Amino acid sequence: MPLSSLPKLAAEQLIAMKGEVVHISGPKMISSPTKGKLRKQEAIIKDPTASVSVTLWQEHIDTLELSKTYEFKNFRIKGKQSNRFLITPMNDPFCFTECASFAKPLANINSDRFQAVSTKTVLGSIAGVQRAMKNLECIVYHKNIHPSHLPC
């Protein structure tokens, strides 16, 4: 399936496609209120018709190589029609195999999409601490204990 047809497909649909990896960001750790800590990695994949942003989750991080072409099975479509992206599904099988490169030249990358997955590093230092606290907590009832209530 050519990437240019993504806007015509329904969100949440699983698709098979072929594409070349042209950018990979470093892995990131995020916190989810329902799933806890998750690892993800952003990439850009393109074919002769278009380019698309891809999010690799958990065990799929660091599995793709830059400048290699793959056939993918079961990427999940996300986003609005004008701004589609793909993710590895959380509960469905996802697989890919390396394959031959495209004979035709690849599409240009949308610069907005490339900016969205570029890795940025921010360096800083702590200027001061406004307030620090130390609390004693009961390990059975998980309640704070005032120091005056402690036995000597």
pLDDT tens for residues 92-104? 899 999 999 988 8
Q: Could you tell me the CA-to-CA distances from 150 to 11, 56, 77, 143 in Å, in that order?
A: 58, 51, 57, 13
Residue indicated by tokens 């698709």: 15
Residue 65 one-letter amino acid: E
Note the pTM of the prediction, 2 decimals.
0.69
Regions in the chain scoring below 70 on pLDDT: 110-123, 147, 149-152
pLDDT confidence of residue 112: 56
Report the candidate in 142, 8, 12 with the shortest Cα–Cα distance to residue 75: 12
**Kind and range of the H or E run holding 116:** helix 111-117
Residues 6 or more apart from 97 whose CB is under 8 A from it?
70, 71
CB atoms within 10 A of CB 88: 24
